[in-house]
Amino acid sequence: MDFNLTEDQLAFREAARTFAEKSMAPHAAKWDNEHIFPVDTLKEAGEMGFMSIYTPETLGGMGLSRLDTSVIVEELAAACPSTAAFITIHNMATWMVASFAPDDLKQNVVPKLASGEWLASYCLTEPGAGSDAASLRTKAVRDGDHYVINGSKVFISGAGDTNILVLMARTGAADSGAKGISTFVIPADAEGVSYGKNEEKMGWHSQPTRTINLENVRVPATSRLGDEGDGFAIAMKGLDGGRLNIATCSLGGAQAALLRARNYMHEREQFGKPLAAFQALQFKLADMATNLVAARQMVRLGAFKLDSGDTEATLHCAMAKRFATDACFDVVNDALQLHGGYGYIREYPLERYLRDLRVHQILEGTNEIMRLIIARRVLDNGVAEAIQ
């Protein structure tokens, strides 16, 4: 096993770091304070290829692996976890359309998403269907060559400011569970689509979050991804990568926080010597660095499993998401503590990183659901080799 990054991956990392330091980091605090959705910066990211990192090159993407993606996203998240997280959600939705849409739809939509000209929202969660996504109630009824969709979605990133909705709706009977769900690509401004207020959130202020209401929204049958009933499986395939993406956003935030804490320990003096001279604080920094590196290796292992088509990729993605988002939140929290009172004020970015990373333990499947996925596989007698 070789844990070193390849020359290409090192080049990707440097390009992402340069972009993040130039186009994201200087503006991140303003985006957060003023709740600005940085559409122009997202378009600039599209020009760099970062809005379609693992979308095929034939459709305008970079065609990179999930491991390459984690290297890039970590650098973007070190500058602004909130904006980087939206970029990953857009990447997930773009990949789903590129992978499962009919050819005409792919050709018409994906290049615009890949370039950042259009933005996409991923629409799964409903008022009564969060962790139990298979119980969603938004209904799509076939009417000739169209579907008529009614229902609502909540906590949708980018909603109201994006161009395309990749949306899951029930095409089967009410009791059909996961097998009765289909996925559709819907224009965000389609007749019958309306949006709620931009939610006031603890973090992620650089991306809007709204409820979406759908009232008799008509879409062509050719807007469906895959066959009827494939929607839940498609959504879950998207979420395997999505869980790695959000875990990687936690890595970036934690890496930035760790480096700031290290620098602060050299600069700040108490009792006549720098904080870096106190063994208790040295040990704290050592634990932070160790947990961050452990989380990074789990994420990259999950990415390797997903890239190689491993049958236990879902298990490894769930473990990586659970561990990395928990561990990295703790790293940021400890970095804030090391800054003392300065960490709690907005002049320093620690409190922003803390607020932005907190939601990573909730979305793309809560960490409690990750534990459920992991436990079910571990309790299966056939899974022993997957965790050895």
Q: Is residue 328 part of a domain?
A: yes
Residue that is last in its domain, among 164, 199, 229: 229
Among the listed residues 200, 364, 368, 385, the single catalytic one is 364
Residue that is last in its domain, among 229, 260, 294: 229
DSSP secondary structure letters along 5-35: PPHHHHHHHHHHHHHIIIIIGGGHHHHHHHT
CA distance 246 to 366: 12
CA distance 25 to 217: 39
pLDDT at position 384: 63
We report the CATH number of the domain holding residue 317 as: 1.20.140.10
Q: Is residue 2 part of a domain?
A: no
Q: How many CA atoms lie within 13 A of 109 on its CB side?
A: 29
Backbone conformation region of residue 229, classed left if phi is above 0, alpha if psi is from -120 to 50, else beta: left
Q: Is residue 105 part of a domain?
A: yes
Q: Are residue 25 and residue 140 in the same domain, yes or no? A: no
In this structure, the number of other CB atoms found within 10 A of the CB of residue 33 comes to: 12
Pairing verdict, β 164-170 and 120-123: parallel
Q: What is the mean pLDDT of each successive set of 10 residues along the chain, which is 388 residues long?
A: 91 98 98 98 98 97 97 98 98 97 96 97 92 90 97 97 97 88 97 97 98 98 96 92 97 98 96 96 98 98 96 95 98 97 94 98 95 91 67
We report the CATH number of the domain holding residue 21 as: 1.10.540.10
Q: Are residue 246 and residue 338 in the same domain, yes or no? A: yes
Q: Is residue 31 part of a domain?
A: yes
pLDDT at position 133: 82
- Phi/psi of residue 9, each to 5°? -65, -35
Q: Are residue 221 and residue 361 in the same domain, yes or no? A: no
Q: Is residue 332 part of a domain?
A: yes
Residue that is last in its domain, among 86, 118, 150: 118
Q: Are residue 36 and residue 68 in the same domain, yes or no? A: yes
Q: Quick one: tokens of 65?
A: 């692996």
pLDDT at position 304: 96
Q: Are residue 87 and residue 143 in the same domain, yes or no? A: no
pLDDT at position 382: 63
Q: Are residue 252 and residue 377 in the same domain, yes or no? A: yes
Total count of domains within the chain: 3
Contact 90, 123 (CB under 8 A): no
Q: Are residue 306 and residue 278 in the same domain, yes or no? A: yes
Q: Are residue 105 and residue 198 in the same domain, yes or no? A: no
State which residues form the domain around 103. 7-118
Q: Are residue 244 and residue 260 in the same domain, yes or no? A: yes
Q: Quick one: tokens of 187?
A: 């224009």
364 is catalytic: yes
pLDDT at position 381: 67
Q: Is residue 1 part of a domain?
A: no
Sole residue written with tokens 């009919």? 102
Q: Are residue 303 and residue 379 in the same domain, yes or no? A: yes
Q: Are residue 225 and residue 272 in the same domain, yes or no? A: no
For Cα atoms 358, 362, 363, give the angle at the middle one, nearest 5 degrees. 110
pTM of the model: 0.95
Q: Is residue 375 part of a domain?
A: yes
The alpha-carbon radius of gyration of the chain (Å, integer) is 21
Q: Are residue 213 and residue 310 in the same domain, yes or no? A: no
